Chain A
Amino acid sequence: MKKFLYTLAFIFFLTILFTSAALAQDNIVTDDEVNAVAHQLYCPVCQNTPLDVCPTDACRDWREQIRGMLAEGKTEDEILQYFVDQFGDRVLAAPPVTTTFNWLIYILPAIIILAGAIILFRSLKEWTTPKAVAAGSGAAGTDASSPKDEYVARLEEELKKQK
């Protein structure tokens, strides 16, 4: 009996799911739904302004196009793909990493930053390894103070100098 109830509930649930999906298709597409897609697009007419906030007529047409496509039941990905096919990769907010070349946008800075980090680390190592001659002239004697109140000691010493 209990099992039967569960199945009933499940079927009921499924019906709701399907009907609501069907309803959604007939529904008017809201501005928010349009903007959610438009926000990911850049119209070539207004450089560097996302489509959802671009005030030009060209962009208004694009948004109406998106609205129409959403009403037809197209998914977000399909719509984005349509615009890429029509107008090229530049309608997307960032280059799609579909080609090896476009991977460069992420890889190259990573390589340079890594190289910088290695150079920095090696220089630091070189500097921190004591050389034959004793350390330089101006270093204030902060190193040998008691670890307990080192900070306060350092500050007090600086304060004395300031006076």
Chain B
Amino acid sequence: MLPEFGYGIALVSFLVALYSLITAVYGATRKSTSMVESARRGMLLTFPLISISAATLIYLLVNNHFEVSFVYEVTSRSMPTYLKVTAWWGGQAGSLLFWSWLLAAFTSAVTLRKWERDFEFLPWVIAICSVTLLFFLGMVIFYENPFTRFWLVNGNVEPHMFQPALATVFTPQDGNGLNPLLRHPGMVIHPPMLYLGFVSFVIPYAFAMAALITGRTDDRWIRLTRRWSLWAWLFLSFGLVLGGRWAYDVLGWGGYWGWDPVEIAAFMPWLTGTAFLHSVMIQEKRGLLKHWNMILVILTYALVIFGTFLTRSGVLSSVHAFANSPIGPAFMIFVSSTFITSIALVIYRWPTLHGETEMKSMLSREALFLLNNLLFMSVLVICFWGVMFPLVSELFTGQKVTVGPPFYERATAPIFAALMFLMGVAPLSAWGHSTLKTLGRAMWKSALIALVVTVILFATYTQNIIALIGFFLIALVLLVTAQEFWRGTRARQRAQNENFFTSLTRLMGRNRRRYGGYIIHISMMLMAIGILGIEVFQSSTQGELAQGESLNIAEYTVKYRELASWDDQGKGVNFTRAVVDVYENGIYLGELTPRIDFYFDSQQNMTIPGNRSTFRDDLYIILVDWQPTTAMGATFKIYVNPLVNWLWIGSMLFLLGVIFAAWPDRDPAEETSRRGVTRHASQPSAAD
């Protein structure tokens, strides 16, 4: 009964979303306020409806209803309850429902804001959101139904939603269990974060489309969605970082990022989103780049859908697992039609999107922001082409190829270096006008100190040229950014007669986005230190040890003490745990316990490294293999990952920076752009 109920509610919410779409479009074209109001109510109703459907699924998951095929696939009796709940997004069908639920939540939130001034946007925002919602709910209802049950039909077990004639429900004894890799805490919150990021980018897109459809193509849609974009970007970035941390902790290959197509699929919307956040500022400050912002937000949306399609279906990474799924063509059709329609709209509205001012110099801040956009787009092109190339190659030459890290690293490294250089220059350039001379005057001190730092590093730490270029750029950006804080505070101090800290906090508080942005730049540099460390300086060794033997790497000695292997029936896991003693230059530092967990239900191994983390480096030990009979010999792989901790420190600061920039102001009127003041005489609004 319950599965039918959950399915039925999903179906009802689908119909309600359809109703909202129709009334919204009808209301907009007929200028009927009551129709639009009705559409808005319908949209608000989808959220509780999908919540009920989702709650039903969670109930089924938690209570071991293995007759439901999705429950059978992703849970087992031995799993703890919280993992049974998170198994909701651990499989295809459930995660599509999860996506729908998040989208309904965001859409409801956006329809709840005050709309008085922007009422003509409302129906179209509802329409765009409901089209997306309809697509995902449609996937759930027609293709990937999480409520399907097993039925015994003529002695065969078949999955069906509704009872076939003369069939009885078939309930397996136990489920397959969630893929052990997905049981890590990082993986429990990584997908929701990623999806939050994905889903929240739908909102700026919906506003952009509303602006195009209504012809109100000034920068109002951008100001209305500024916060949304920032939060979306925050979630997406956080999702990516968590994914990296998860990979570092459980995948056992000593790294955090493998340029896997699935990772790249999540990275691509981040690239366009980041470009968007920068170029949006040009439109706000200078009224330029309206076309480009539209294109960026459309690209982001298309890549979000495309990315979901790739992550959920694995069309590129493992073509064959996907072959039977019908959702591929559906996604394909949806992505193509929304993308083509959006681009057609941009072309149609092209004349109204022209810039209002001109640029004054090739070195002005807006010109440098454009360069930044070009660089982000370049990384996007490389990523997209790298992901597509195996497909293209198989199509034209019949030859399967792998496009792995060496390609991406070679192709993107110079671009990332150029981006870092821009981070060092752009904050010093002025909106509207800058010359080489003014830039040079603002920069030379920082550049000189950065050079000195690099020379010191050359003498004491490394002679690697890539690392030295990297460290020079990192030092440059850090210094320039620090100088920005310093000079801003000093200037304010002079003007306001405040003490230094009051000045600093007020300065930052008054211009959250700028100084939040600078915090993000600093955090990016900290992350760059970690990335350089692992990319350039990582070293590793592997060897089979008998008890009491040791391996040496860098200053470390790793001595194998003992190993134990035992079953934990309650958890359904066999643990094999080695204990090693770690010495640095002969001084005892402590023990580490790398282990291998073998999950009975899914018959899969999980390698948990033993990791000793300091600011200088990580000692990362993996238990590769052992001799089960004697428990004597064991093979260890040991990595030394210099500086990698700065990657995680940087990520934390990064989050703070974005939250600082995106945090709602107490008084919205305080937050006005320079043009906004005169042009749109203060429009306080909830979304702002």
Contacts and interface: CB of A to CB of B under 8 A. Distances in A.
Interface string B486-508: 01100110111000000000010
Contact of B252 (A53, A94, A113, A158): A53
A47 B404 CA distance: 10
Given A48-B261, A138-B674, A105 B389 contact: yes
A86 B655 CA distance: 48
B430 A142 contact: yes
Nearest to A110: B411
Contact of B287 (A112, A138, A160): A138
B542 A35 contact: yes
B253 interface: yes
Contacts of B204: none
A127 B488 contact: no
A55 B433 CA distance: 57
Interface residues of B, number: 79
B455 interface: no
Interface in A125-163: 127-128, 130-131, 135-140, 142-143, 147, 150-152, 154-156, 158-162
Nearest to B544: A31
A95 B411 CA distance: 13
Interface in B348-369: 355-362, 367
Contacts of A116: 374, 377-378, 381
Given A131-B358, A154-B430, A113 B378 contact: yes
A99 B397 contact: yes
Contact of B393 (A95, A131, A150): A95
B404 A50 contact: yes
B382 A109 contact: yes
A108 B397 CA distance: 17
A150 B435 CA distance: 12
B517 interface: no
Given A128-B360, A128-B362, A48 B407 contact: no
A31 B635 contact: yes
Interface string B314-355: 000110000000000000000000000000000000000001
Contact of A138 (B261, B356, B403, B605): B356
Given A116-B377, A127-B355, A127-B359, A142 B605 contact: no
10 contacts: A35-B540, A48-B258, A50-B253, A53-B252, A92-B401, A94-B406, A116-B377, A117-B374, A156-B495, A158-B511
Interface of A: 30-32, 35, 42, 44, 47-50, 53, 55, 88-95, 99, 101-102, 104-106, 108-109, 112-113, 116-117, 120, 124, 127-128, 130-131, 135-140, 142-143, 147, 150-152, 154-156, 158-162
Interface of B: 252-254, 258-261, 286-288, 317-318, 355-362, 367, 370-371, 374, 377-378, 381-382, 385-386, 389-390, 392-393, 396-397, 399-407, 411, 428, 430-433, 437-438, 442, 487-488, 491-492, 494-496, 507, 510-511, 540-544, 605, 607, 624, 635, 637, 674-675, 677-679
Given A138-B286, A159-B496, 18 more contacts: A31-B541, A31-B543, A32-B541, A48-B402, A90-B401, A93-B402, A104-B392, A105-B385, A105-B407, A109-B385, A113-B378, A120-B374, A127-B358, A136-B358, A138-B679, A150-B430, A152-B487, A156-B495
